[in-house]
Amino acid sequence: MYFELIFVFISSLTALFLLRKLAKKINLVDTPNKRKQHEGSIPLVGGIAICVSLIQFLYYHPNLLANSELYMLCIIVLTIIGALDDKYDLSFKIRLIIQAALSLCMMYWAKLELHTLGDMFALGQINLGSLGYIITIIAVIGAINAFNMVDGIDGLLGGLSIVTFGSLALLLSLDGQGNLAYICMVFIVAIIPYVLFNLGMFGRKRRVFMGDAGSMLIGFSVIWMLLLASQNGLEPPLRPVTALWMIAVPLMDMAAIMIRRIRRGDSPFQPDREHLHHIFQRLGFSSHQTLAIICFIAACYAGFGIYGEMIDIPEYIMFGLFILFFGIYFTLVSYVWRISSFIRRFYINKKKV
């Protein structure tokens, strides 16, 4: 097992070294603009390298993941569409259509869909029936775009992905589902070389970005694994509400920023600089400090979700707490500048005294 994980790491690392040179030749790079304040043109190959290493692993171990052929086809399609979007800036409508089509393929051939929401509302088990098809499509599109939107500073998408896959691996392992837990570890090992490149561990000149290819691949992989874990069999290893806690930060950030955009009369898919990581940076935190804080918050959310699962806290309480935390988060980010101004004035007045 350890040798296989080492091979995945080396495969992903090698792909990054090779693909970054190719990306510069074909101009698959990210250049600075009003929203992107990095230096120089950065190759957008992180997602492609992860895709290559995952496919290479699953090709030789197809039985570890049910419907692995379909999964590989889906991530290949997403990676290609993402790479085209990185280079040509495709319309968000095209991306949504592709994502919806892949979710239909997932439901039809892999039989992966949301059958139940559990007992989220203290009304007993909520079985979705035919409505599950629509909610599954929304869930797939939501997960893909949540991880896409959170990719704004070095290491953040990789860090949050590692938190999600790591927490899921822990629960699956405790439930005795070693194969799925191992797949989650493969995801983590495939992502680590990207994080090292992205953070400049191999030199600032060798930095790479994930690109839409990678964020869509990760978002789709997360929802695929969460559906497997929460909708698989009569007693799945985790309840649907626990899945919310495992992707709490990307999900809350996406929901909050879309609500704010719609309230302003803007498109919910219009890019801006109002994400959680932007707020932390504008409050004076460095990118590395912001990365550490947000990943710590995500780990706390995931840890609480695992705790609630292990001691069997009622689902409606877990869901109610999730909504409460989202409400607090939304309020804080909506009034963050007033709050920060009050804090600054408080400290200034305190120093004068």
Task: Specify the 3-state DSSP secondary structure of 335.
Answer: coil
DSSP state of 64: G
pLDDT tens for the chain, 353 residues: list them: 788 999 999 999 999 999 999 999 999 998 865 555 556 789 999 999 999 999 999 999 999 998 999 999 999 999 999 999 999 989 989 999 999 999 999 999 999 998 889 999 998 889 998 899 999 999 999 999 999 999 889 999 999 999 999 999 999 998 888 899 999 999 999 999 999 999 989 888 889 999 999 999 999 999 999 998 887 655 677 899 999 999 999 999 999 999 988 888 887 877 777 788 888 888 888 999 999 999 999 999 999 999 999 999 999 999 999 999 999 999 888 887 777 777 667 666 655 55
For residue 59, give Cα distances in angstroms to 97, 280, 332.
Answer: 28, 41, 46
Burial class (CB in 10 A: 0-12, 13-18, 19+), 338: exposed
Number of domains in the chain: 1
* Residue carrying the six token digits 């492609």: 48
User: What pLDDT was estimated at residue 14?
Assistant: 96
Tell me the C-alpha distance between 133 and 148, whole Å: 23
For residue 85, give Cα distances in angstroms to 82, 211, 216.
Answer: 5, 9, 11
Tokens of 299: 């780990």
Tell me the C-alpha distance between 104 and 70, whole Å: 12
One DSSP character per residue, 117-155 reads --STTSSS--B-TTHHHHHHHHHHHHHHHHHHHT--STT
User: What pLDDT was estimated at residue 349?
Assistant: 62
Cβ 60 vs Cβ 198: under 8 Å = no
Domain around 149 = 2-352
User: What pLDDT was estimated at residue 131?
Assistant: 92
Tell me the C-alpha distance between 197 and 214, whole Å: 14
> Minimal CA–CA distance to 198: which of 163, 160, 145, 230?
160
Cβ 156 vs Cβ 294: under 8 Å = yes
Tell me the C-alpha distance between 151 and 66, whole Å: 29
C-alpha atoms less than 13 angstroms from C-alpha of 59 in its C-beta half-sphere: 8
* Distance in Å from the first CA to the final CA of the chain: 63
Sign of CA dihedral 83, 84, 87, 89: negative
User: What pLDDT was estimated at residue 353?
Assistant: 52
One DSSP character per residue, 214-263 reads HHHHHHHHHHHHHHHHHSSSSS-SS-HHHHHHHTHHHHHHHHHHHHHHHH
